[in-house]
Amino acid sequence: SSSSPTTLQRSDSIADKMPDALKQSRYHMKRCFASFVKGGKKLMKRENLMNEIEKCIEDSNDRKKIMEGLFGYILTCTQEVAVVPPFVALAARPDPGFWEYVKVNAGDLSVDEITATDYLKLKESVFDESWLVKIFIQEQYVLLKKLKESYLFFQMFCRAKDEHALELDFGAIDFTTPRLNLSSSIGNGADYISKFISSKLGGKSDKLEPLLNYLLRLNHHGENLMINEGINTVAKLKKSLMLAVNVVSTYLNTHLMKLSPRVKETMVMLSEVLEAPDSVKLDLLFSRLPTVFNVVIFSVHGYFGQQDVLGLPDTGGQVVYILDQVRALEEELLIRINQQGLGFKPQILVVTRLIPEARGTKCDQELEAIEGTKHSHILRVPFVTDKGTLRQWVSRFDVYPYLERFTQDATSKILQRFECKPDLIVGNYTDGNLVASLMATKLGVTQGTIAHALEKTKYEDSDAKWKELDPKYHFSCQFTADLIAMNVTDFIITSTYQEIAGSKERPGQYESHTAFTMPGLCRVVSGIDVFDPKFNIAAPGADQSVYFPYTETPKRLTKFHPSIQELLYNEKDNNEHMDTLRKEKPIIFSMARLDTVKNITGLVEWYGKDKRLREMANLVVVAGFFDMSKSNDREEKAEIKKMHDLIEKYRNSELYRCIADTKGVFVQPALYEAFGLTVIEAMNCGLPTFATNQGGPAEIIVDGVSGFHIDPNNGDESVARIGDFFSKCSTDGLYWDSISNAGLKRIYECYTWKIYAEKLLKMGSIYGFWRQVNEDQKKAKQRYIDMLYNLQFKPLTKKVTIPEDKSLPMRLAS
């Protein structure tokens, strides 16, 4: 029976299919498995596996046939292989979010399906061996001096072998949370929850009690917003609504009272939900309920400010994202509060650390109003330890010892300002998410988290090799904090699907936290479930008052043209440019922080090597920030000074548009990009965009329609795609415009802050209700998390060194 891979059913596990695979290709499988175990213990990734296959099956026709058969199918699903002779253990992922583990005996080709735990144990034993090698090397070269370190390694080695290593299994304490089933549903959590809740509310009247209780609790500064305490049964609520609808109808018709027609609409909606709840009605109702007024957004590390901060360490797209998010959120809140007929002011606080040594930024100021908003502020709270206030910036990898105290101090400042609890707390990045979790748990407030980037997937084997990397990166703290926050939070916002569950070929960033091991520290057998309905995709946008199409001539910021022209076409070589551009050629443009992962140097190299591309187009790269204050024009300098606040943003946007004027393109060549704000900035300006197929941009752009994907690991192919584009443009006068327009269409349909803000507010209210419905489950899980926080995380933070403050005499904490 040689069933082809296409007939594979989801229910057929990889282990079940192995016998058929063996029947199809026993000879080659035997050779391959024998070759895997040759040379002893090791860990192989997909690329290593494919290289091995090429070595073992030399004949390319044979190889093609094998790859088309069942064994090939199994190989293509395999993400990682732990070789512990005579066993070869495969971690296979047939579809996003679905993992299976099998153990094959290379000798007799017997196959066993194993658990994640058993797979991780085998994987740990691969790393045990490499540690032994290290101990050996150290003892050879450094002898007694390093005895202490060797001893530590030895201790760890013993613990890694420990059968009773700490196992974290969040799945084991989740009893009532419903879970999605399909890979394609991942990331639509709020819709799923509202369907689930509405099905729970149906039937007898008492099923509606959770909704009644939720409405009873809705208040602002102690003022009931929906119904008063007297209406304490579902029957009373139904009756009161009937009466109220009649009364309101009368008033609406006679104009005796100023009432918005929405009041009646909302009452009717609520009556309908009480009569027969369904998710469409429930969604509509929830989009109208007055649930969110005061929001706290944590973004702890870095220099968080509005001026002069971009380009400082640890300060990239996250800051841009949050400031735009606040503006969009406030705007949406103001519209809703107005429609609800309430007189409240929404308040949004972005809470970050106060840095006394602010390097010319405003990061040493406690409170700063957020530009473009009426009621939103940045609140800064210093890091304080027993040694006093920390004066200097510290890297995002070193912030862990300060976070607990920071949360306490921030919480009291926030409560003081709001004079009530916030309605929603949103964390950003590991540190912000942890702080948000601590505060939300303490106050009993709905919480959301945003990763921006999870560091675990950025560094290969960062989990298994944590001990090596810990002195520099403190991943033991970071991954534990990430797990805590992911499990505490009510909902998780991601910018793309791939961030959660990756693609067919590559696991998602969250998915990589499902099962992993940090040998000697803990074995995570169920860290997060990507099918958990807490996951929601809400992509950010770009500020459209700044990033608008190049064709909107009257709005263009022509004041920047002289300096942009100077940057692009100045004939003198200086610090900023090293070659003269030919004006008749279109420009290939790229902009990113100078970070290895952004691969700007890769792009320069591709361009340098490719004669055809060099002949067709110029290349302009902004890596870091070009300093406009160096402009020669005095008036322009004064103008720039005036605009200083928003200069980078405005000037950047005009730069994208000037590149579009040349019929050029934007290229984002990163080796990996979590989302990629520059991609949507360029597309908003109408600039055709080529972006990496590794990460978020692959989802933003529909390849060949609204832009193009390029493979950062294949320079030749990428350069050819860009070259082909320019040559097509030279023969088809409409081609450039068609891509530019399709890019804009894509943005308006999927990537705007308005869409984002609507989604976020929906999450705030739906998950606010859900946390009440699911209260018992949440409490049980919280107990488990408290232990993890206190017994594991806190001791780990003690290993992070707190820098001495040399500039000032030591002060004691107040």
> Nearer to ligand UDP by C-beta: 316 or 508?
316
Out of 675, 708, 751, 767, name the contact with ligand LCN by CB under 6 A.
675
> Nearer to ligand LCN by C-beta: 321 or 548?
321
Is 676 an interacting residue with respect to ligand UDP (CB under 6 A)? yes
Is 318 an interacting residue with respect to ligand LCN (CB under 6 A)? yes
Residue showing the smallest CB distance to ligand LCN in the complex: 317
Total number of residues that touch ligand LCN (CB under 6 A): 13
Half-sphere exposure of 554 (CA within 13 A, CB side): 0
- With beta carbons less than 8 A apart as the criterion, state whether 693 and 672 touch: no
- Residue 188 DSSP SS3: strand
> Nearer to ligand LCN by C-beta: 538 or 567?
538
What is the footprint of ligand LCN within residues 471-500 (CB under 6 A)?
495
Distance CA 453, CA 301 (A): 14
For residue 810, the tally of other CB atoms under 10 A from its CB is: 9
What amino acid is encoded at 269 in this protein? M
| In the complex, least distance from residue 389 CB atom to ligand UDP, rounded to whole angstroms | 28
> Nearer to ligand UDP by C-beta: 296 or 592?
592
| In the complex, least distance from residue 477 CB atom to ligand LCN, rounded to whole angstroms | 20
Distance CA 790, CA 438 (A): 12
| In the complex, least distance from residue 428 CB atom to ligand LCN, rounded to whole angstroms | 8
Is 672 an interacting residue with respect to ligand UDP (CB under 6 A)? no
For residue 26, the tally of other CB atoms under 10 A from its CB is: 12
Stretch that binds ligand LCN, among 164-172, 187-195, 635-643, 672-680 (CB under 6 A): 672-680
Out of 290, 317, 688, 768, name the contact with ligand UDP by CB under 6 A.
317
**Residue 332, binding choice from ligand LCN, ligand UDP, none, Cβ under 5 to 8 Å by partner class:** none
Distance CA 305, CA 365 (A): 10
Is 452 an interacting residue with respect to ligand LCN (CB under 6 A)? yes
> Nearer to ligand UDP by C-beta: 96 or 676?
676
> Nearer to ligand LCN by C-beta: 303 or 675?
675
| In the complex, least distance from residue 623 CB atom to ligand UDP, rounded to whole angstroms | 6
Residue 23 Cα distances to 2, 6, 70, 480, angstroms: 8, 17, 10, 44
Hey, which residues does 92 pair with through a beta bridge? 78, 100
> Nearer to ligand LCN by C-beta: 74 or 687?
687
**Residue 591, binding choice from ligand LCN, ligand UDP, none, Cβ under 5 to 8 Å by partner class:** ligand UDP
What is the footprint of ligand UDP within residues 579-618 (CB under 6 A)?
591-593
Residue 354 per-residue DSSP state: E
- Strands 223-224 and 294-298, by their bridges, are unpaired
| In the complex, least distance from residue 459 CB atom to ligand UDP, rounded to whole angstroms | 15
- Residue 100 DSSP SS3: strand
Out of 625, 672, 735, 784, name the contact with ligand UDP by CB under 6 A.
625
Out of 173, 225, 334, 622, name the contact with ligand UDP by CB under 6 A.
622
| In the complex, least distance from residue 93 CB atom to ligand UDP, rounded to whole angstroms | 27
Out of 197, 289, 399, 453, name the contact with ligand LCN by CB under 6 A.
453
Distance CA 425, CA 445 (A): 7
- Residue 579 DSSP SS3: coil
**Residue 40, binding choice from ligand UDP, ligand LCN, none, Cβ under 5 to 8 Å by partner class:** none
Out of 74, 310, 522, 640, name the contact with ligand UDP by CB under 6 A.
310
Out of 316, 448, 519, 697, name the contact with ligand UDP by CB under 6 A.
316
- With beta carbons less than 8 A apart as the criterion, state whether 330 and 395 touch: no
- With beta carbons less than 8 A apart as the criterion, state whether 739 and 707 touch: yes
Hey, which residues does 620 pair with through a beta bridge? 589
Half-sphere exposure of 590 (CA within 13 A, CB side): 22
> Nearer to ligand LCN by C-beta: 351 or 451?
451
Is 540 an interacting residue with respect to ligand UDP (CB under 6 A)? no
- With beta carbons less than 8 A apart as the criterion, state whether 549 and 185 touch: no
Distance CA 275, CA 205 (A): 9
Peptide bond into 669 cis (omega under 30): no
Termini Cα distance of the chain: 76
Q: Phi, psi at residue 793, to the nearest 5°?
A: -65, -50
Distance CA 182, CA 531 (A): 8
User: Rule CB under 6 A: which residues touch ligand LCN?
Assistant: 316-318, 321, 452-453, 495, 673-677, 696
User: Rule CB under 6 A: which residues touch ligand UDP?
Assistant: 310, 316-318, 320, 591-593, 622, 624-625, 648, 652, 675-678, 681
